[in-house]
Amino acid sequence: MKLQRKNRLRVLSLGAVAVTGALTLSACGSDDNGSSGDSSASASATTASSIKCDDAKGQLLADGSSAQKNAIDAWVKNFSQACGVQINYKGSGSGAGVTAFTQGQVAFAGSDSALKPEEVTASKKVCSSGQGIDLPMVGGAIAIGYNVPGVDNLVLDAPTLAKIFDSKITNWNDAAIKKLNPDAKLPNLKIQAFHRSDESGTTDNLTKYLIATTPSNWKYSGGKAWQAKGGQSAPQSAGVAQQVKQTSGAIGYFELSYVSDGIKAASIDTGASSPVAPSTESATADIAAAKVVGTGKDLSLQLDYKTKAEGAYPISLVTYEIACDTGNKADTLPATKAFLRYIASEDGQKLLSTIDYAPIPDEIIAKVRTTVEGLS
């Protein structure tokens, strides 16, 4: 966790983290902001100079995955500095993003789950002569965040995690948790489990992990909407993280970049020689084994939730940017294409590991770059 905080401080010093919301900054090639001598301005200028703006202009509206919002904010700052394009990414959740995309309300959407067949069909109404496709851009670990006084190194496994989120284990000194944590001083404290209130790809990926690894303890069909009984809910990753941070005895799930002071992240017993903590490296180890299962220009991936590989964190996700392969709106296509080109670039992907996200493996991101160039 200390390393994660150092990474965040480093990002802040380089000016890589953006404030939430739309940003309208100087045009491509401008160095008007460099006169102050601030090192962060110099770093941003260096990054901006490598971004190809082409004919990008105006503004873009986008919505979707809250898990990737911290990454999008950082990318938006750099891209807006370079190209003067205003981008407003709401981060309302994967479900809301896909709906906004299929209704033609946004230029692109972010989703932690690939498009379903019915969503692809719906996208054809707004993608003239084409359809929505999945472009994997962001990887990351879904952290199981907890707030339990006196417990610094919690270990959980799939059956125990399933029972906690299904209200079958309700106290922190339960025998199942004690067995996994024989040296911990587990308090006699009620578990306060938090899940997403909105449709979420993070929920979808967590429940896919539980279905794959402990089906006898998780008998729900899965999907973006939370199905288990009990627990408490909050909107978006930031909302769940905030509830965990302020509630003694709380546990929840959210992308690793939302782990902060007041929240610790559990390690997962996968059956490997030692439990695996969520990190950029452990998520990358898991995502590296992913397979492209999409057809045509679609690059949706299949993750291995049952991995027992050493150092591979099993509860990982890949966030897709969803755009039309053909039939993008003429007024937003140049900016959409330029932004997607930047975030798929070497510089865009390098930024991810500095803010607790995992870059997409080289072989896959190379295909993404080729596909982005063909958007029309």
Please report whether residue 313 resides in a domain: no
The confidence score (pLDDT) of residue 48 equals 58
Q: What total of structural domains would you count in the chain?
A: 2
4-60 confidence digits (pLDDT tens): 433 433 333 333 333 333 333 333 333 333 333 333 343 444 455 589 998 999 999
Same domain for 95 and 192, yes or no, is no
Same domain for 209 and 130, yes or no, is no
61-89 confidence digits (pLDDT tens): 999 999 999 999 999 999 999 999 999 99
The confidence score (pLDDT) of residue 260 equals 86
Same domain for 134 and 145, yes or no, is no
Residues of the chain falling short of pLDDT 50:
1-46
Q: Are the C-beta atoms of residues 201 and 318 closer than 8 Å to each other?
A: no
pTM for this predicted structure: 0.83
Strand 108-111 and strand 250-255: pairing?
unpaired
CATH code of residue 44: 3.40.190.10
Please report whether residue 206 resides in a domain: yes
The range of the structural domain enclosing residue 186 comes to: 141-285
Please report whether residue 310 resides in a domain: no
Strand intervals (E) in the chain: 59-64, 86-89, 108-111, 132-147, 155-156, 192-196, 232-234, 250-255, 264-265, 267-268, 291-292, 301-302, 316-324
Same domain for 162 and 133, yes or no, is no
Same domain for 118 and 252, yes or no, is no
Same domain for 148 and 240, yes or no, is yes
Same domain for 55 and 175, yes or no, is no
The confidence score (pLDDT) of residue 261 equals 83
Same domain for 149 and 166, yes or no, is yes
Please report whether residue 314 resides in a domain: no
Strand 86-89 and strand 59-64: pairing?
parallel
Domain boundary among 241, 259, 285: 285
